[in-house]
Structure 1
């Protein structure tokens, strides 16, 4: 079995219970302060990460774009700021996060067509979107299923764009990174008075990242699922990865 695909098997064995049972209550708990907590934890770099993500996105008037695991609609709003004629769709399983996202879009006079649903089985037709995006959620997904769905709904030649926390390839950097994240999880939990669901998943968030991909490994996984012209940018020594990949023509 290819290395990227074998890691997917391991990830499912380790974390399926969390993905199926624990994460929805966590994001319901944190929805109201999700963006603020991430600004604090990233030392003010949260919007900088988004700009790097958007730097790889090319838009044209009237394109169809889908943001999966859309959360508070940060990507959809950024896309519409760049090109207001886009038709932007969003899907997320968590009602509370999408409630915040809908409010954020409405405050800006933007229309994002949101669906509450499972991103492992996208409720959209084949070959429909020019752009599909995924930000800050891939660690919590069965990526072999998600990438097959992404490829299905993309038009031939369409692009997939990804941004997430990844596992730094250098062990010393990873050790420092995980130490900082443990501190941040405890600090933001205290600062924002997180509830029991979020508190109980602090160890999971570190373990999921420790068993995740480096930027280059993530590129290999995209290629293993038939994507081409894969490029990536590593931010902060591989702590954050930004990827672009294309569905073959």
Structure 2
């Protein structure tokens, strides 16, 4: 691992660790019931289409064991079971409230997703356990090197990791326009859904988290340095989001 990525992670941790440790849970508990609608609004209705593109990239076969990290409301697990009903899907998340919404949603549609509440930096599974691991719309709130290393550990050799998230655009002009849009959007959503003080107080954090995060190419290089192979990163919407696919050697 090059010092540049280690230094970036140290900067992120120093800037955000207190928020990650003491505020993020409260934010997601506050918005759990409306989380998916709020994300759809913030993306101007594009998120569902982007997620369909993400699901389409995920190669699964009957009987495979799949882990969805930071599963939230289980949208990815449910979509994968619609794509291939004979999957053994596990979900991990630190938010009880988000997983309660996700568990209810899966049950209403007749799907079985095995949920675990845990710290995703230390996954409660043995080495070489999963055929596929997914992670979407959460990495900005995590210690990336630690989580990606854990994902590599629990993947079987030849297994695949699929990642989808908001990223920092490589273009400074796009980054500035994007952050300006997000600032106004977050304030509007906070007012519209009447979020609690924890979520309102984190509006600036969500912008700062993008500014200190990785571009598509940077995340690809990080995955490669962590030992993944055949890394593919596809930027979308000017690099404001991206889909990555990587293989465990």
- TM-score higher than 0.5: yes
Paired position in structure 2 for 1:130: 131
The equivalent of 1:63 in structure 2 is: 64
Residue of structure 2 equivalent to 1:234: 235
Supply the distance in 2 between the matched residues of 1:32 and 1:95 (Cα, whole angstroms).
Answer: 12
The alignment partner of 1:237 has SS state of: helix
SS at 1:212's partner residue?
A: coil
2:180 maps to what in 1?
Answer: 179
How far the C-alpha of 1:48 sits from its partner, in A, is 1.0
Aligned residues between the structures? 248
Q: Is the 8 A contact 1:4 1:220 kept in 2?
A: no
Please give the TM-score of this superposition, normalised by the length of structure 2: 0.98
Compared with structure 1, are the counterparts of its residues 167 and 195 closer, same or farther at alpha carbon in structure 2 (3 Å cutoff)?
A: same
Distance 1:224 1:5, change over 3 A: farther
* More deviation, 46-55/104-113: 46-55
Alignment of 1:215-234 (within 5 A): 215-234=216-235
SS in 2 for 1:49: helix
CA RMSD after TM alignment: 0.8
Where structure 1 has 5 or more consecutive residues not aligned to the other structure, the ranges are none
Equivalence map 1:58-207=2 (5 Å): 58-207=59-208
Deviation by residue 1:89-112 (Cα, 9 ceiling, x = unmatched): 000000000000001101110000
Deviation of 1:236 after TM superposition, in Å, equals: 0.5
Instruction: Name the CA distance, whole Å, in 2 between partners of 1:3 and 1:132.
Output: 26
Report the Cα offset of residue 6 of structure 1.
Answer: 2.0
TM-score normalised over the length of structure 1: 0.98
